[in-house]
């Protein structure tokens, strides 16, 4: 059964000439992969040497040998992309100096081939700290002096913005920062909401747009696996990419005071240049709408609305795994008692507002709220949400929950109105009307070897 139509438009798979792809897979693909790997390894000692003894917080004068390493790395990276099929890279417009626009905003962000403009310019980027530990590639990333994001740090967002501001306000001493303001990969069918980090300093930015006019490969974007994209790209005789530098955008006084407005206006400008629609989806919304797997969200529309409400309440950013566990523990004590608006506000330690009224929407079983919050907070970790839900519902003596309670849990997680489990549970033995987490896990693991989704399995049974 297909996913319902929603806000995100999925790219149809192209008609691939499988004979040609098969031939390229055993001839061109391994040669290209070997050459790309060799050139990446060749770049490593240059990047490692140039990074030795360098401060992460200050820019030192460029010595002659560092300038030589810089030129060598750019040449090696260009050769690497050439071997990958990017023989000609079309560049439109002109990149300005860091003193004129310290930040480059790049969109749309769709795959790791978006690293091409980064390696061509050696601009700094904003990336997660974990990328530094990637063998070989992590050293190359460290060489361009990125702004690292410490995701485990609760104060990470503020520190990242402060570091971007510090570098951007250096008067051109630091390299330009190349930022992908969408914050995640999309399928390039439209521009989603931009994050405000690049726009908070209130300094001029230069928009940069990317186009991949290819028949297959990188134009399949995020909907394929990473290896699938790499495989198709290296099997294609030639891969095209167009990089266009738009004129510098200088913010008005109003935009300097309102980064969200600044980001919105730059997004509109870039969407017009790309001839793409604007999609009012955030980074978090995309994660939710693209969740996959047997317990992946089936109809994400209600959960997207819920996610937007909790973002307006400031709850999403403040929700960690520990907060979810604590809320689940408190919800269990209520044993399904439904809370009125005042009690719900007290449960969340929030004042009563119109937004909270929308979340509450009458009497509420906070266990369902916690399940929904866990689902949108970590959409790729559905089994952890299921385990958390069992902690709130299960009997202390037997660890069992009622089948209708499990159905209710799955209805929230999948975003559907009704889940029928009676025929599914019969596969485990006599119908007792109850089920444990262990049996549920066993049922899903065994049955999902043969079925793609819970809906497909229940329809079959």
Mean residue pLDDT of the chain comes to 83
pTM of the model: 0.72
Residue 317 reports pLDDT greater than 90: no
Give the pLDDT score at 396: 84
Rounded to the nearest angstrom, the gap between the alpha carbon of residue 366 and the centroid of all alpha carbons in its chain is 28
Over residues 218-233, the pLDDT tens digits come to 444 444 556 777 888 8
**CA torsion 99→105→106→109, rounded to 10°?**
150
Give the pLDDT score at 422: 60
Give the pLDDT score at 23: 85
DSSP 328-366: HHHHHHHTTPEE-HHHHHHHHT----HHHHHHH-SSEEH
Residues 6+ apart with CB under 8 A from 302: 415
Separation of alpha carbons 239 and 236, rounded Å: 7
Rounded to the nearest angstrom, the gap between the alpha carbon of residue 397 and the centroid of all alpha carbons in its chain is 41
Q: Is 25 helix (H, G, I), strand (E, B) or coil?
A: helix
Are the CB atoms for 281 and 289 separated by under 8 Å?
Answer: yes
Over residues 45-76, the pLDDT tens digits come to 999 999 888 877 778 777 889 899 999 999 99
Over residues 247-303, the pLDDT tens digits come to 999 999 999 999 999 999 999 999 999 999 988 777 777 777 766 656 667 777 888
CB atoms within 10 A of CB 331: 25
Locate the DSSP E strands across 189-340: 205-211, 241-245, 338-339
Are the CB atoms for 141 and 132 separated by under 8 Å?
Answer: yes
Are the CB atoms for 101 and 227 separated by under 8 Å?
Answer: no
Are the CB atoms for 254 and 155 separated by under 8 Å?
Answer: no
Q: Is 309 helix (H, G, I), strand (E, B) or coil?
A: helix
Q: What phi and psi values does residue 352 have, to the nearest 5 degrees? A: -75, 120
Q: What phi and psi values does residue 170 have, to the nearest 5 degrees? A: -85, 5
Residue 5 reports pLDDT greater than 50: no
What proportion of the chain, given as a percentage, has pLDDT over 70?
84
CB atoms within 10 A of CB 298: 19
How would you class 210 by CB atoms within 10 Å of its CB: exposed for 0-12, middle for 13-18, buried for 19 or more?
buried
Give the pLDDT score at 10: 36
How would you class 316 by CB atoms within 10 Å of its CB: exposed for 0-12, middle for 13-18, buried for 19 or more?
middle
Angle at 257 between CA 279 and CA 180, to 5 degrees: 40
CA dihedral sign, ordered 189, 233, 209, 168: positive
Answer with the residue of higher pLDDT: 113 or 154: 113
pLDDT class of 429 with cuts at 50, 70, 90 = low
How would you class 80 by CB atoms within 10 Å of its CB: exposed for 0-12, middle for 13-18, buried for 19 or more?
buried
Separation of alpha carbons 232 and 348, rounded Å: 48
Over residues 90-108, the pLDDT tens digits come to 999 999 999 999 999 999 9
What proportion of the chain, given as a percentage, has pLDDT over 90?
39
Are the CB atoms for 60 and 54 separated by under 8 Å?
Answer: yes
How would you class 257 by CB atoms within 10 Å of its CB: exposed for 0-12, middle for 13-18, buried for 19 or more?
exposed
DSSP 90-157: EEES-PPPTTT-SEEEEE---SGGGHHHHHHHT-EEEEEGGGGGSTTHHHHHHHT--EEE-TT-TTHH
Residue 121 reports pLDDT greater than 60: yes
Residue 38 reports pLDDT greater than 50: yes
CB atoms within 10 A of CB 20: 12
Are the CB atoms for 228 and 238 separated by under 8 Å?
Answer: no
Are the CB atoms for 98 and 175 separated by under 8 Å?
Answer: yes
- Both tokens of residue 195? 């994050």
Over residues 327-362, the pLDDT tens digits come to 999 999 998 889 999 999 999 999 999 888 888 888
Residue 148 reports pLDDT greater than 90: no
Mean pLDDT value across residues 168-186? 88
Give the pLDDT score at 445: 59
Locate the DSSP E strands across 192-348: 205-211, 241-245, 338-339
pLDDT class of 39 with cuts at 50, 70, 90 = very high
Separation of alpha carbons 267 and 274, rounded Å: 10
Residue whose C-alpha is closest to residue 103's, from 256, 269, 284, 249: 249
Q: Is 48 helix (H, G, I), strand (E, B) or coil?
A: helix
Locate the DSSP E strands across 374-441: 400-402, 434-436
């Amino acid at each position: 059964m297909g996913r319902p139509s929603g806000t995100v438009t999925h790219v149809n798979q192209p008609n691939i000439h499988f004979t040609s792809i098969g031939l390229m897979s055993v001839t061109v693909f391994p040669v290209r992969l070997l050459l790309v790997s060799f050139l990446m390894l060749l770049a490593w000692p240059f990047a490692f040497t140039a990074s030795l003894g360098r401060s992460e917080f200050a820019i030192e004068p460029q010595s002659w040998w560092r300038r030589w390493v810089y030129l060598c790395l750019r040449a090696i990276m260009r050769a690497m992309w050439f071997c990958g099929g990017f023989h000609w890279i079309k560049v439109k417009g002109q990149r300005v100096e860091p003193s004129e626009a310290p930040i480059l905003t790049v969109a749309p962000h769709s795959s790791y081939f978006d690293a091409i403009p980064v390696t061509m310019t050696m601009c700094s980027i904003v990336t997660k700290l974990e990328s530094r530990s990637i063998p070989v590639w992590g050293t190359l990333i460290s060489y361009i002096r990125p702004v690292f994001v410490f995701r485990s740090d609760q104060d990470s967002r503020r520190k990242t913005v402060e570091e971007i501001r510090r570098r951007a306000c250096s008067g051109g001493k630091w390299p330009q920062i190349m930022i992908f303001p969408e914050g995640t990969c999309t399928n390039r069918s439209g521009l989603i909401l931009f994050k405000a980090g690049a726009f908070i300093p209130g300094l001029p930015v230069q928009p940069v747009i990317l186009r991949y006019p290819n028949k297959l490969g990188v134009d399949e974007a995020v909907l394929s696996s990473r290896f699938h994209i790499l495989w198709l790209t290296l099997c294609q005789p030639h891969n095209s990419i167009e990089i266009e530098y738009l004129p510098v955008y200088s913010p008005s006084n109003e935009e300097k005071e309102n980064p969200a407005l600044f980001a919105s206006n730059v997004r509109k400008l870039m969407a017009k240049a790309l001839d793409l629609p604007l999609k009012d989806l955030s980074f978090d919304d995309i994660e939710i709408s693209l969740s996959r797997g047997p317990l992946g969200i089936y109809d994400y529309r209600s959960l997207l609305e819920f996610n937007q409400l909790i973002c307006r309440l400031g709850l999403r950013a403040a929700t960690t795994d520990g907060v979810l566990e604590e809320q689940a523990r408190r919800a269990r004590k209520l044993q399904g008692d439904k809370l009125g608006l005042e009690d719900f506000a007290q449960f969340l330690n929030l004042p009563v507002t119109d937004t909270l009224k929308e979340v509450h929407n009458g009497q509420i079983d906070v266990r369902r709220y916690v399940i929904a919050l866990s689902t949108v907070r970590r959409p790729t970790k559905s089994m952890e949400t299921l385990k958390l839900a069992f902690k709130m519902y299960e009997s202390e003596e037997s660890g069992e929950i009622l089948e209708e309670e499990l159905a209710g849990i799955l209805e929230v997680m999948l975003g559907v109105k009704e889940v029928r489990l009676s025929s599914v549970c019969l596969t485990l033995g006599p119908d007792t009307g109850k089920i444990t987490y262990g049996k549920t896990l066993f049922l899903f693991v065994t049955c999902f070897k043969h079925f793609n989704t819970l809906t497909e399995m229940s329809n079959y049974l």
